[in-house]
Structure formats: structure tokens, C-alpha cells
Chain A
Amino acid sequence: MEFAKLYFRSPSAVIGLLLFILVLAMAATADWLYPRDPLALAGRPLIWPFSNPRFLLGTDNSGRDIAAQIFHGARISLLIGLVATFISVMIGITIGAFAGYYGSWVDTVLMRVTEAFQTLPNFLLLLVLVAVFGSTITTVTVAIGIVSWPASARLTRAEFLSLRNREFVQAGRTLGLKDIKLIFGEILPNALPPVIVYASVVMAVAILLESALAFLKLSDPNVASWGNLIGAGRDVLRVQWYVSAIPGIAILVTVLAVSLVGQGLNDALNPRLKSR
């Protein structure tokens, strides 16, 4: 309750939450409002928005309903964002926990690998992964998770370094708890809050990465992704610029919502920093 009060004190956090609920609502009602396949031919191509009541946001260059693609795209973006974030945070937590808990050579090896992932531009690695494993929605999501874990690993490792010799851990060790139990049962719950807050950044970046990949026509062409639509609209940019403009706004709103909620959570978790 205290936490909710702290969260709702910040206007930007409230706006973020409202926007996030809006995107969630779009994703939830997509099948109900637009039961037809969003990628199916719906009408005359390139109808301007607000000119035909049947197609509120107009149609794109192949005559597909833009509004339907926006609503169904919300599902794809949220799905990819959430799953990729989950994968990335899981990898990050595991690697960071082992590196921070065991130290010495385990730490050295794991941090070298982390460093390698950080030195390699993540979008380039994403291109390589997509080139090798193909661009279905599953491979794209997993690939985004794989390129974005290093920061959560570093964060978890730092938390573990400061926690691993605390009294409650030593008590657990004296009780004869196994390492795995200590790591995941005792230390991890205490190390988690900053990582969970950071997950909002990972999710924002994951949504942006997928849209960039889709824009380059390297993501799954068989799903209604906002990035795909921007890429399609590029061919008619000169006059019908709205085809690209509308999905871009949808991406902006979603990423903004995710970052604002993350920032709000962060401020509510660290109330002392809030006064700044």
C-alpha cells in the first residue's frame, strides 16, 4: 500500500501506467474489434485516415487495414518485449549470480564473456543471429534476449558481491545449505529489485530492436508487426507518409509507457532519491 502511494505520487509514473494500460487494452481487444486477419486484403489501397469510416486509420499500400495492424501489432510488440526481456534477465541473473557468488576464476571467465558481448555491437550480433537461424518470431525473440543480457548480469553480479558475505548468508552456510540453494533461495531474492527495475529498460530496448529489425525486413513477415508496417510505408513515403507515421507513434507510446513505469517503480523503490 505504501508502495502504491509512493508510486502514484509522481505524475509521470501515473501517465506511464495509463499509457501502458492503453496499449494492453489494444492488445486485449484486437481479436474482438478486428477479428479478421490483419494482414489480409481489406479494401482499396492507400485510403487516407479519417476519410472512410470503415477504415479509421486508412489502408496501407497493399490495401490492408492500418488500424487492425496497429491493434494486432500491440500484441506482437508486447509479446516480443516481455518474452525477450524474460530470456535476457534470466541469462543475466544466472551469469551474474554465479560470477558474483563464486568469484575467482569463475568470475574472470564469465566477465570475459560478458565483456565480449558488450564489445560486439548488439545490433550486429542480432543481424548475425537472424542470418544464421532465420527470422521467425521465435528466433527473433530469442535472439533479442541473447543480445541484451550483459547489463543485467553486471547488475546482479554487483548485488551478489555486496551480499555474499552478509550474516544471513553466513548463517545459511553454517546450516549446511548447498550453494545452489544459497544462491537462488537466499541471496537472489535480495538482489532482485534493481534487476527488475532495470528490466523495464531491457523491454523498451527489446521493442525498439524488434521494430528496427522488422523495418529492415529481417523480422517475421507473417505477423502484424509495427516495424513491418513502417517498412512497407517507406515505399509510399513521398505522398502517403501516414502509413509509416501511424505505427511509429504506436511504438513511441509503448516504449514511453514502459520507460515511465520503470522510472516510477525505481523512484518508488528508492524514495530517498525521489526528492531530486
Chain B
Amino acid sequence: MRVLALAGRRLAASIPTLILILIGVFLLLQFAPGDTVDAMMAQMGGGDAATARHLREFYGLDLSVWAQLGNYLWRLVRLDLGFSAIYGKPVVTVIAERLPATILLMSASLSFAFFFGLIFGVIAARGVNRWPDTLISTLGLIFYAMPTFWFGLMAIVVFSIYLQWLPAGGFEDITVSLTGLARTLDIAKHLILPTLTLGLFYMAIYLRIMRGSMLEVLNLDFVRTARAKGMDETRVVVRHVLRNALLPMVTLIGLQAGTMLGGSVVVESVFSLPGLGRLAYESVVQRDLNTLLGIIFVSALLVIAVNFIVDLLYARLDPRITAGA
């Protein structure tokens, strides 16, 4: 219960951060050349000044910046993100349609990166300065230095064009209507390359952190004690070392939730996935500022949610955290 209270307090502390972000980005967007009405007029193929004035009045764009900001925040409290002129739908609906693909991609990549980062980190640390370590560390460095979108393109060339094993893009096959298990498998097949593309960079970071933290923990007294008890090496690693070495990895998830969301912008446009990241890109190109602000809000919420879960996990892994609170 105390864990929950602690994490809850952190959650409450992030509300001012959220408000700060929204005010900051809202004011920033006031500098953008052209507003929603300009974008709408452009889409309608132009119109006279009177129509534009009417539209601005209708959307409240003729008010002062501060009044608009106040209106916006007040609407947010009621979970109303406004109306997207480009998509002709409420922003909430537009985002809700795109959110599942991004969440799926992010959790798949995160699991992939965490799992393989952990395994390779442990292997590298167990054979430190021998060939498995050198090989894994070198590959890690290369994956870290590689632009994700470039890896995605090269993976398309190899796996989709030459080998023709996997689809080159899209979320599911739209030429046939599948249901149930067949549809799940189809989506999974479409997500393999995007997951790899987004996940490899993070795997490189996780394996480096895991290797370092394993090496640190392996030299601690309690590990020597466990070995002295006659415990075999696998059990020492799994039961004593791993749990302690995991802490920095878990911290990293929280720190990188934001960059991962940013990375999905690029990956989603490489693989034409209908996700939040591509929506952000499209709304920048189409000047759909209402949607852009909505995406910022939802992504900040996502990052805060991930950090809340990380706090809970952290307390579960390290009992001292609750005792110290």
C-alpha cells in the first residue's frame, strides 16, 4: 500500500509538469505561420475573408492568446482535445484510432530490447574481455550508431524485396479480411521488422547498461558469500546478481519512454504504420496544430504512465525504497 502511495505522490507531482508542457507548446504554436483556418481554407481551395473571419469566430481563434489558452486548458479538463479540421473529426477520435498501433509497436520493441539486452548483457559480463564480450559489445556499438530508419530500409531490401519473407509495410493485409487468430498472426508478421528496427537501438543501450551493472554486482560481498555457500554459478546469477543488476535497467525504461515515442515517428513512417508517430508527422506537414497539441498531450501522459509503472516495479525489485519513504 505504501508503494502505491509513494508512486501516487510522484504521479501527482507530474501534473504541474504536464501543465507546463501544454502551456509551453501552446504558446510556441502561436508563432506558427498560419492557423487551422488557413489550413482549412487551403483544403477548400480558398475562400473570401468574411468566411475566414466567421470560421475564426466559430473556433474562438479571434480571442486573445491568453483567453484561447484558458479555453484550451478548460476543455482539456473535460477531456475535450478540440476538433481536427483536416480529418474532420474530434482530435480525441483521431488519436484513439492511431494509438493502438503505437502502443503495440512500443511495447513489442521495449520487450524485445529489454529481454535481449538482458540476455546479451549477462553473456557479455560472464565472459568479460573474451570473444563473446568483444563480439556482443562491438555489435552493440554498431546498433547504437546506426540510424534506425536506415536499418529499417535495409531490412526492407533484404527481407521484403529479396527474400520476400515479410511484408514491407502497413499494419495488416487489407486485401483480405481476416478475423481472430489469423488476423493476429497477420498483424504480428507486419510488426516484426518495425519492432526490430525500433528495438535494436534500445537493445544496444540495455545490453551496455546490463553488462556494466552485472560486472559491478558480481564483485560485491554477498555474491562471494553465495558462492562460498557452494551455490552453483547459474543460481548465483539468477537469484542474487540479476535482481540487483536489474535496477538500472528498470530506471532506463522510464527515462527512455519519451525517446522511444519519438523514435516511433520515424519507424512508423518507414513502414507506413497508422500510428501516433506518423499522425504527428502528418499534422506537422498539414499544419493541423490542434491535433499536434493533442498528440503532445497524449504522449506526455503516456510517458508519465510508463514512469508510474516503473516506480511500482522499482519498489517491487528493491524493498528498501518503500522502507526509506
Residues on A lying within 8 angstroms of B by beta carbon are 12, 112-113, 115-116, 118-134, 204, 208, 211-212, 215-216, 218, 227, 230, 233-234, 237-238, 241, 244-245, 248, 251-253, 255-256, 259-260, 276
Contact = CB atoms under 8 A, between A and B. Distances in A.
Given A133-B31, A204-B145, A259-B141, 8 more contacts: A121-B262, A122-B262, A124-B262, A124-B265, A131-B287, A227-B147, A230-B147, A244-B153
Contacts of B150: 211, 215, 230, 244, 248, 251-252
Interface string B159-171: 0010000000000
B147 A118 contact: no
B187 interface: no
Interface residues of B, number: 52
B20 interface: yes
B322 interface: no
Contacts of B303: 119-121
Contact of B145 (A130, A212, A244, A259): A259
A2 to B, nearest CB: 24
Contacts of B141: 12, 256, 259-260
Interface stretch (B44-52, B58-66, B291-299, B308-316): B291-299
A119 B18 contact: yes
A133 B31 CA distance: 8
A256 to B, nearest CB: 4
B147 A212 contact: yes
A227 to B, nearest CB: 8
B20 A122 contact: no
A225 B141 CA distance: 23
A120 B299 contact: yes
B68 interface: no
B263 to A, nearest CB: 7
Contacts of B180: none
A114 B234 CA distance: 42
A230 B149 contact: yes
A248 B146 contact: yes
Contacts of A216: 265-266, 269, 281
Contacts of A218: 284
A81 B263 CA distance: 19
B32 A215 contact: no
B280 interface: yes
Given A119-B303, A128-B292, A276-B212, A212 B21 contact: no
Interface string B116-154: 000000000000100000000000011011111111011
21 contacts: A116-B17, A120-B296, A124-B295, A126-B262, A127-B292, A128-B284, A132-B29, A132-B33, A133-B31, A211-B147, A211-B150, A215-B147, A215-B149, A233-B153, A238-B161, A241-B157, A244-B154, A248-B151, A252-B142, A259-B141, A260-B141
Contact of B280 (A12, A127, A227, A245): A127
B147 to A, nearest CB: 5
Nearest to A260: B141
Contacts of B255: 118
Contact of B259 (A122, A132, A230, A252): A122
